[in-house]
Amino acid sequence: MPHEFDLYAFHRRRKIFKIAGLGLVLLGFFTLLNIMGELPADPLRGRSAVFGGAVLIIFGILALYKGYKLPLAEALELVHERGRGITESELVHDMRVDRTTAERILRALIAKGFVRRASAQAGTTEEVFEPVR
C-alpha cells in the first residue's frame, strides 16, 4: 500500500514554519531594540541581549527558509508514488501549488537529476516528466 501524499499536513507544516520564523525574527529584533529601553525588570541587558537576539533571529531565518523553500522532497515522493510520469498540471492539482511554483519544482528536479522529460510524447498536450531510474 503506497503512502498517500498528505496535502493538509504539508501546507500546515509550511504555514507553521512561516509564522514561527516571522515571530522569532520579530522577537529577536525586539530583544535587540530593547537594550536601549528603561525597563528595570528586563533580564536581558548588554551582551546577553545581543546574543539572545541574534540567536532568535538566526532560528527565525532558518524557520522562514524551511517554510519558503521549494518542496522538492514532497514532489519527488509524489512522482515516485505514482510510478509513472507526472505532468505539471498533476503537480499543481496534487500539491495545491500555483503553476509558477510547479514549474520551478520541475526545473529544480531536472537540474538535480531526479526526473527527466519523457521522450515519447505523441499527441499529448502537456509535457510528461518521468523519474530517473
CA 37 from chain centre, in angstroms, equals 36
**C-alpha cell at position 101:** 511554483
What HEC string does 12-73 produce?
HHHHHHHHHHHHHHHHHHHHHHHHHCCCCCCCCCCHHHHHHHHHHHHHHHHHHHHHHCCCHH
Q: Who has greater pLDDT, 38 or 124?
A: 38
Query: What pLDDT does 46 receive?
Result: 77
The whole-chain average pLDDT of the chain stands at: 83
Q: Who has greater pLDDT, 121 or 100?
A: 100
Q: b or e along 40-70 (b: 16 or more beta carbons within 10 Å of the residue's beta carbon)?
A: eeeebeeeebeebbeebbebbeebbeebeee
The rounded distance, in Å, linking the Cα atoms of 129 and 121 is: 10
Inform me whether the pLDDT recorded for 129 exceeds 70: yes
The residue ranges of every structural domain in the chain are 7-68, 72-131
CA 43 from chain centre, in angstroms, equals 35
Average pLDDT over residues 88-93: 86
pLDDT in tens, 109-128: 889 888 888 766 555 567 77
| β-pairing verdict for 115-117 and 86-87 | unpaired
Tell me yes or no: is domain 72-131 CATH 1.10.3720.10: no
Burial of 20 (0-12, 13-18, 19+ CB in 10 A): middle
CA 101 from chain centre, in angstroms, equals 11
Q: Who has greater pLDDT, 31 or 122?
A: 31
Average pLDDT over residues 21-36: 90
Query: What pLDDT does 119 receive?
Result: 67
pTM: 0.71
